[in-house]
Chains A and B, each alone.
Chain A
Amino acid sequence: MDELIADDGTPRPLGAALMRLIESIGHDELTERQRRAELDILMMGITFTVYSDGQNIDRAWPFDIIPRVIDGREWDGISAGLAQRLRALNMFIDDLYNEQQIVSDGVFPAELLEASVNFRPQLRGVRPKHGVWAHISGTDLVRDDDGQMYVLEDNLRVPSGVSYVIENRGVVKRAFAELFERQRIRPVDAYTDELNRLLASIAPDGLHEPQIAVLTPGIFNSAYFEHSFLAERMGAELVEGADLVVGDDDCVYMKTIDGLERVHVIYRRIDDLFLDPEVFRPDSMLGVPGLIRAWKAGNVGLANAPGAGVADDKVVYAWMPDIIRYYLGEEPAIPNVPTYRTMYDDERRYVIDHIGELVVKPANESGGYGILIGDRATRAELDEAIEVIEADPRNWVAQPILSLSTVPTLVDEGIEPRHVDLRPFVLTSDRSYVTPGGLTRVALTKGSLIVNSSQGGGSKDTWIVDGRYGRSPLDQTLDQPVGQRQASAGSGQEQSQGTGA
C-alpha cells in the first residue's frame, strides 16, 4: 500500500497538501528543488562513508526530496509503544546481568542465554544508573499492507542515523518552505539536547557539569559523520580510543594540550568487543584499556552500556511480547512481526517447508547482508539457506514476507512508489524520549526492499503532522498567487475532512 496515494490514484487526506503542492509546482520545479537539495547536502558536507575497492569513500548522503507524512495521532500511539518496549528491554537486560528472574520464572529459556554471543558474563552484577543499559536505541518499524506498523528489529548497540533525521529536515525546510508555514509539522532538532541531558544524567554522582565525550572508531567508520555531528551539537569532545587513558585511580582521562583532563561520560560508538582490550578483544586498537574497570567502579558513565546488545538479537526479538508482559504487565502497544525460531524443531520444520514465502535473517548481523528473501531467491539459494539453518539453527529466524508500504519518490521516470521503513530513535533514562518520526529509508530501486544506504538505499524526511491536513480552504490558497494567500488564509471556512487514523 502507498501511504500518500490511495488505490484509485488520488492523494489520501494525509498527503493531500503535499501532493497538491508537488502537482502545482510541476515536475521541472520539483526536479530543480531536488537538485538544490543535493547541492545543499554536498555543501553542508553531509556524508556517509562506504568501503569500496579497498578505499573508504566519503559520499554525499542519498536523499529523496518528497517527504513521508505520518499522522500525529497515529504517531502518539507508536511513540508510547516504543517507550514501553524500551522500558521492558532495559528491565530485561538489567535482570539478565543480575538476578535472572525471567529465566528462573521460565519465561525466557536458559539455553538461549547460554548460547547468546552478545551476553557478556564479565559484566554480571553491574547496576548502571536508572537500571538502564540501552540508553539510545534505533527501532526499525515497517508498515504492512493492512496499514499496521510493526517492529522489525531493535538496535541497542550503536544504532546510527539520527544525524540524518536532523539534517534531512534542514534541507527539506528550504525545499518546501511553503508547507511548513501551513502545516503543523513536529520539529526534530530537540534530539541532541535530550541526548545531552540523558548523558549528563549518567555521570558519576554529584557532578554539575560533567565532561562528555563521543567515542568514535575514527574517520573510516561509516557513521563518522554522525559521531562528529553529535559531538558538535552537544558541545562534547569527539575522542578516539588513543585520546583516552585510564589512570591508576580507575578514572578516565583525555589527553589535551594542557595535560590530562577527566572524562565523566562517554557516548561510545565502538562495538562492545573493541571497547576495552583488558576485558574483551585483546587485539583491539580502537578501545581504551581499563575502560570497563572505570565503568564498574562508577567513575565513568557509558552509553550504551556494554552488554546491552544481548537484547537486540533477532532471536530475543521473538520473545519480546512475553518480555513486555512479564516486566510491565501490559500488552505490547506495537506488534512484533510473527517470528519463527529455527531452534525449535516444529518452527524450523515450518520454515524449511515454507522457505519460499519467508524472509530468513541471521540473528546477529546488521547492515542487510545475509538476508534471504524467499520469493526472490533461486532454488539453489533456498537449498543453501536450508543447509545453513540446519547447521546452526540458533543463529537464524524467519518471518513472513511483509509487503512494505511505499511512498511517492522522485526517480528518473517521474514520481513512483518506492518501499520504505522507519527508524525512530528512543532515549531511555529515568524518562523516555522518542524522536518525532525518525529516519525513513527508501529503497530507490523499483520493487526493492533493501533500504540500507550502503546498498543503494536513500532517505526521506519524515513529517509527523498534527491537526487538519485535508483539503481545506487553507490548502486551496496554494492555487493563488503569493500576495493573495495571506488574506484568504485567515478567513477560510473550516471544512476539514477529518484526519483519519
Chain B
Amino acid sequence: MTVLLARTAGRLYWGARYVERAEDTARIVRAYNDLVVDYPSDELLRWEPLAVVAGSEVVIDVPANDPAGEFTVLRHLLADRSAGSSIASSVAAARENFRTTREVMPREAWQAINQLSQYVDATASGAVDRQLRDRFLLRVVEISRRLDGILESTMTRSEPYQIIRLGRLVERADMTTRVLGVAAAGILSLESVDRTDLVNDEVRWMSVLRSVSALQMYQRATRGPIDAMAVVRFLLEYGAFPRSVQGCFDEIRRVACELPSPSVVLDALAEAQTALAAARPGGEGGAELDRSMEAVQRAIVSLGDVICRRYVDVVM
C-alpha cells in the first residue's frame, strides 16, 4: 500500500518543476552564450531576449557600460535570488519543496538536490564571469540529470515518482514552447530589417536547437540542413525526441494513467494536444508561430492548473 498526501504531492510537483526550470534555464543560457561566441563580431547580439525566454517578467535595466546587457542579464538569470526565474531562486525553491518530502524520496536524491543548492549558492554570483559561466551551467544541468538518474534507477514506480515526472514534463514542455516563442519573436523583430537573410540564419536556429539539447538528434532525424520550418516542426511534433512538446505530452499521458482517477488531467491534455495540432509554424514569418506558441503555452498552463486541482488542492 502506498499513499501520497495531497500536500506532499504538491511539494513534489513544484520541487520537480523548479529543478527542471533551473536545468532548462541553464541549457538555454549555454546555448545563447555559444551563439554569441559564434556570431559575427560586427553585430551586437543583445541579451535581453534571453531573459524573456527564461520567463523573467521584469524589465531589465541595462547600464551604459554593459551595452549588450550581457552581465546584467546573466546576473539576473543566474544569481539574483529576488528574480523568480533565476537559477539561484529556482534551485532554492526546489530545495525548500523537497526538504519537506524527504520521507518519500531516495536519500541520495535529496543529497543531489542539496548538493545542487550548495553548489549554486557558492558559485552562482561568480558564474557571470565569461571564464566560469559555462562550467557552472553545465554543472547545474549535470546535477539535475543525476537527480533524474537516481530517481529513475532507485525510486519505486509509485505515486510520488509519477508526480515528480509530471512536474518535470509540464515544465519541460513549457520551456520548449518558450524557446520557440522567443525565436519567433526574434524573427519578427528583425523582419523589417532583412527578412530573407534572417529566416535562413542557420546559426540562430542551431542555437534554438542547442538550447533544448536537440541539435544532434535533429540532424540524425532529418538528415537535412538546418531549416527554420523543420526545426520548429521537430521541436513541436517529433514525439520520439523527449524534449519536444509532443514527446512531453505523450509521456504526460503515460504518467497520468499510472495515477488514481486521472480523467480530468487527460481531458486537459487533450485540449493542449488540440492547441498543438493547430499550431502553424509556417506563413507570415514569425507572427503565426508566435501566436501559436502562446496558445500552446496557455494550454500547458491550464494543464498544470488541472494537475494541481486534481492532486494537490483536493477538496475532501
Contact = CB atoms under 8 A, between A and B. Distances in A.
| A and B interact physically | yes
Contacts of B81: none
Contacts of A302: none
Residue of B8, B110, B111 with most chain A CB atoms under a 10 A cut-off:
B8
Given A209-B1, A245-B316, A257 B6 contact: yes
9 residue pairs, one from A and one from B, having the closest CB atoms: A231-B103, A45-B114, A232-B103, A258-B260, A257-B311, A256-B3, A228-B102, A238-B103, A261-B3
A46 B128 CA distance: 30
Given A42-B118, A237-B103, A260 B311 contact: no
Nearest to B114: A45
B118 A257 contact: no
B5 interface: yes
A240 interface: yes
Contacts of A45: 99, 110-111, 114
Residue of A214, A232, A257 with most chain B CB atoms under a 10 A cut-off:
A257
Contacts of B312: 257
Contacts of B7: 240, 242-243, 255
Contact of A254 (B1, B5, B159, B310): B5
A258 B3 contact: yes
A258 B316 contact: no
Contact of B3 (A43, A211, A242, A245): A211
Nearest to B311: A257
B99 to A, nearest CB: 7
B217 interface: no
Contacts of B4: 256-258
A202 B3 CA distance: 21
B314 interface: yes
B115 interface: yes
Nearest to A244: B5
Nearest to A47: B99
Contacts of A113: none
Interface in A242-282: 242-243, 245, 254-261
A258 B312 CA distance: 10
Contact of A237 (B3, B102, B110, B260): B3
A297 interface: no
Nearest to A238: B103
A239 B6 CA distance: 10
Interface residues of B, number: 29
B100 A243 contact: no
Interface string B151-193: 0000000010001000000000000000000000000000000
Given A231-B103, A256-B5, 8 more contacts: A43-B111, A228-B99, A228-B103, A229-B102, A240-B7, A256-B4, A258-B159, A259-B316
B133 to A, nearest CB: 24
26 contacts: A43-B111, A44-B114, A45-B99, A45-B110, A45-B111, A219-B100, A229-B102, A231-B102, A232-B102, A232-B107, A237-B3, A237-B103, A238-B103, A243-B5, A245-B316, A255-B7, A256-B6, A257-B4, A257-B5, A257-B159, A257-B259, A257-B311, A257-B312, A258-B4, A258-B260, A259-B316
B99 A255 contact: no
A interface secondary structure, majority: mixed
A236 interface: yes
B261 interface: yes
B100 A228 contact: yes
A237 B5 contact: yes
A124 to B, nearest CB: 34
Interface string B1-24: 101111111000000000000000
Contacts of B5: 237, 239, 243, 254-257
A36 to B, nearest CB: 14
A258 B4 CA distance: 8
A255 B316 contact: yes
A255 B8 CA distance: 10
Interface in A33-90: 42-45, 58
Nearest to A230: B103
Contacts of A261: 3
A228 B118 CA distance: 20
B261 A258 contact: yes
Contacts of B8: 237-238
Contacts of A231: 102-103
Interface string B92-134: 0000100110110001001100110010000000000000000
Nearest to B7: A243
Given A209-B1, A236-B103, A257 B260 contact: yes
B116 to A, nearest CB: 11
A260 B103 CA distance: 20
A245 B4 CA distance: 15
B314 A257 contact: yes
B17 to A, nearest CB: 17
A207 B306 CA distance: 37
Interface in B283-316: 310-312, 314, 316
Nearest to A227: B103
B15 to A, nearest CB: 13
B316 A43 contact: no
A260 B311 CA distance: 13
A127 B68 CA distance: 75
A43 B103 contact: no
A1 B107 CA distance: 40
Contacts of B9: 257
